Structure 1
Amino acid sequence: MKAEQTIDKSVQSGRATQIAAMVTTGLVAFMWVYFGRLYLIHDPGEWRIANQQLGYPLYIIPLIGVTHILGGVGLLIPNVPRFTEWVYAGFAITLLLAFYSQLNGGGSTWDKFDPILVMAFVFASYVSRRCLRANRWSI
């Protein structure tokens, strides 16, 4: 009887981890694709922030958009753990550089911590997917 309860709790825990991984990964992928699209369609608000507030040259903004979209889509590719690790590494580097850019640029205090908030979601997605892979589950 005790073994059945342990297995049942393990299955429930695995299911909760799987749902958490799906939700956080989907949210992170959506954020990256959404903001990448804004850079590609020349959204005036995003371009103004990137160019005037952060000082990025205009020619680099579409490239940032393309890399955001590729990263968001790449995160959703299943069963490619090494590629996924590289995507997460790219996200971490991008967010650290974004935080540095925000610290040195203008804007409100809240804007400066946007990359850290996004990093929390990326970290939650990464950890939950690592837990799934460690237990040989997949999303």
Structure 2
Amino acid sequence: MLGGKKSTDRAALPRGSGNEGTMSIIGSGMNIVGDLSTDGSVRVEGRIEGTVRAGKTVIITNGGEVVGDVLTQDAVIGGMVRGTVVAESRLEMQATCDIEGSIRARSKHLKLEEGCRFSGQIQMLDGGEALALPAPARVENSTQMQGLSTP
């Protein structure tokens, strides 16, 4: 991405209209204290202390951290999560993943790479049961971030 550095933990994002194709990036070294909500996708390379809600995808890279809940359609976890992960459609836990908390996901769309770490409860659903994915809070701008700070 930046600086010519290639990343192997990218997820293919479908292109859509409006905010659906939007990718918000929480860069390495960035620390957010508060909740983040977007209709699109978010890539976490830094640290978030709060709930992360994304209408499309949440990608937490190796080195990225979320201390709070992650609620989304598709999740690719390569970093650390301390909280509940709810992936309505697809969940990928990469080899560098470290989750401590609860997971709710579809068993047909759950990918676990060798080496991933998980401590907690997992609920895997097969049918059309809803995972109770809460709708993101509506604000004038589709991306809401509170308490931004950088070290």
| TM-score of the aligned structures, taking structure 2 as reference length | 0.23
Higher strand content, 1 or 2: 2
| Higher Rg of the two aligned structures | 1
| TM-score of the aligned structures, taking structure 1 as reference length | 0.24
Higher helix content, 1 or 2: 1
